[in-house]
A and B are shown apart, each in its own frame.
Chain A
């Protein structure tokens, strides 16, 4: 069956068959594996890799059907980096063996992934990474320090960007790896954040040996591979379908409806402005997903991520003002190691603070605006002097 002949109804009936064969109240992992094997994990992926080569937009038909049947989900709040970033990168740049090894346990949530990109000296300018990977027979020896690494303490695997040729200009001397987080020399230390908890980490890599079959893409081609990850990261953040009043605005509208005593005309005006923007963002997201169903994510993903960060921050900020006295009270500052990154069950103050990360993680809003200006609007790039010089000669 060719990709574009799939119909939503067919996928719905496949989902029904799956539920008939594998009761939803059995072992969740067994169900998720069966779902993967039936091609209903991500329907746009190839047959054998969790998909059916169907249009991406039809995924929602499957998701709806399975949710209605009460099927277990793969807990995307816990495995977001694997789903959103590692998987599309492995699909595009991985060998068939790598795809078979990694995608299934990634999707079922059996193996958690993290992203070893940022370094103390390389954040927005990711192409400046200095973590070294040196070839040694059929392996690579990796040393360096990564930082702000979300969920590294839970991760079995990481996507890793490292420098393999310091003599080349910075974009050309990098190679992309899958890092085994259990390998000797990988040390994960909690890094506490604004919310008091430690969702992210510092990761120290000391002579970590990675066999060559953990390399993703050709040596020196790491930047091209990383760009796939980054484009998908922007789509993954804020790119999932939500119902009206779903997502960040949900607790705010709930508070407004439940507590008439918090209402004032001034706050109402702001609430409705944000409601309109949230609905505009929701429809834009739906439209973008329809576009995506036809092809690869483009720079439009940046718009989704940018809007999501701005809206979440403004909504959570307003929520504290609406709550008034309750907005002054926090739930918990103690150092914790969260399993997941969703925040709906936490205090409004926690949501407000966590939202501050939305415009930093996965590329800052300033950098994304630059990308929109240059790649979408075609405006001239900022003058640069750092792209032609050998990486090792760059000023630091």
Chain B
């Protein structure tokens, strides 16, 4: 049994949180986010330039020798927590976590540097719903006559990407997203602040960055780390929903009193608080265990998705419900959180798949 890792936040993390929160608490955020959705431009390129370029946050997982900050998963998780609180439309999870982990695992250091320095965005070209345990990841794309052919649907964070990391039977390929033969078609997505796209490759040329075996290991590591750190984003979503709802029910009056004074409302929010408290411990554990050798990173990631995904959905559903009619409107941002939470619960595998995987990992077979 290894020692329990530190599950708290340290001072530098709290400082980073404060500056991120200041950056993300722009008052025009909601109207701007809704306008972006209606305008078909879901990503906030300006915000990404600040986060990745000026603040250097895209390189947190990348060692200093390769242009990154070498800060590790706990800090990256903290960033995701704050981005979740703001349902920020930036490709942090897809590029700075998932694609970066794949490249790190392959040792493709020349491609890492531009990502870490904020000069490029990369996306792992697998459906967002794919879990680390799925095997059928490599049958979609094949190399023929020197070009890649195939279709990959529902890929996250690929619309703003410069580089696509494409798993194929013979290994992992890096493909220039703008290269001839590459088509990205936006998908009308449940989570409109993290829009998916379908990718078609028709003879696109690429660079093979890993052979079959390493490629598989890299994809699994990337999805496992994505699942582990997504839990922090889910924690951020849940925290925002809880705090915003608490503030609302203190103010909103019906029957001559604040609706938050009804015990029925109090108990439900108390339950959400308990859930969020637990989600914080689980998400921190997943972040602390991510990238560690041995099976614990996989256990922690599966645990994180099995626990934090439903907590975020529940908190967002309570947020909509306890705001009454206002929570059901488009102008009020609760729906953006609900959509983010529900889509994130499907991302990297649904909670039931993670529970099933956990059963294998901790030797509790189903039958």
Contact = CB atoms under 8 A, between A and B. Distances in A.
Interface of A: 118, 122-125, 128, 147-148, 191-194, 196, 264-267, 270, 313, 317, 320-321, 324-325, 327-334, 349, 352-353, 356-357, 359-360, 364-366, 369-370, 382, 384-386, 394-396
B144 to A, nearest CB: 25
Nearest to B131: A324
Interface string B325-355: 1011111001100110011011100111101
B196 A357 contact: no
Given A147-B325, A356-B317, A360-B327, A328 B346 contact: yes
A384 B350 CA distance: 45
A369 B350 contact: no
A118 B352 contact: no
Given A118-B325, A333-B192, A328 B343 contact: yes
Given A266-B352, A330-B192, 8 more contacts: A123-B325, A128-B254, A194-B328, A267-B352, A356-B338, A360-B328, A394-B256, A395-B256
Given A128-B254, A329-B189, A320 B342 contact: yes
A12 B339 CA distance: 48
Contact of A328 (B38, B190, B259, B317): B190
B277 interface: no
Nearest to B329: A193
B154 interface: yes
Nearest to A196: B330
Contacts of B356: 264-266
Given A123-B324, A317-B313, A384-B256, A328 B366 contact: no
Given A329-B189, A349-B190, A321 B127 contact: no
19 contacts: A118-B325, A123-B324, A124-B255, A124-B324, A128-B254, A192-B330, A266-B353, A320-B346, A321-B346, A321-B351, A325-B154, A328-B346, A328-B347, A333-B188, A353-B338, A357-B328, A364-B324, A366-B262, A385-B257
B265 interface: yes
A333 B37 contact: yes
B285 interface: no
A324 B346 contact: yes
Contact of B366 (A123, A265, A330, A396): A265
Q: Which of A122, A191, A329, A334 has the most CB of B within 10 A?
A: A329
Contacts of A313: 317
A370 B264 contact: yes
Contacts, number: 136
A334 B188 CA distance: 10
Nearest to B335: A194
A266 B254 contact: no
Contacts of A125: 254-256
Contact of A325 (B129, B256, B257, B345): B129
Nearest to B259: A124
Interface string B187-207: 111111000100000000000
Contacts of A386: 255-257
B352 A264 contact: yes
Contacts of B343: 328
B100 interface: no
A128 B320 CA distance: 23
B262 A382 contact: yes
Contact of A329 (B187, B330, B338): B187
Nearest to A385: B256
Contacts of A191: 329
Contacts of B353: 264, 266
A396 B258 CA distance: 11
Given A328-B189, A328-B196, A321 B329 contact: no
Interface in B283-334: 313, 317, 320-321, 324-325, 327-331, 334
B268 to A, nearest CB: 8
A261 B129 CA distance: 14
B321 A359 contact: yes
B321 A192 contact: no
A344 B217 CA distance: 42
A327 B346 contact: yes
B224 interface: no
B29 interface: no
B95 interface: no
A330 B190 contact: yes
Nearest to A192: B330
B188 A332 contact: yes
A13 to B, nearest CB: 46
Given A324-B346, A328-B346, A270 B352 contact: yes
A148 B345 CA distance: 30
Given A328-B346, A364-B321, A123 B328 contact: no
Nearest to A352: B342
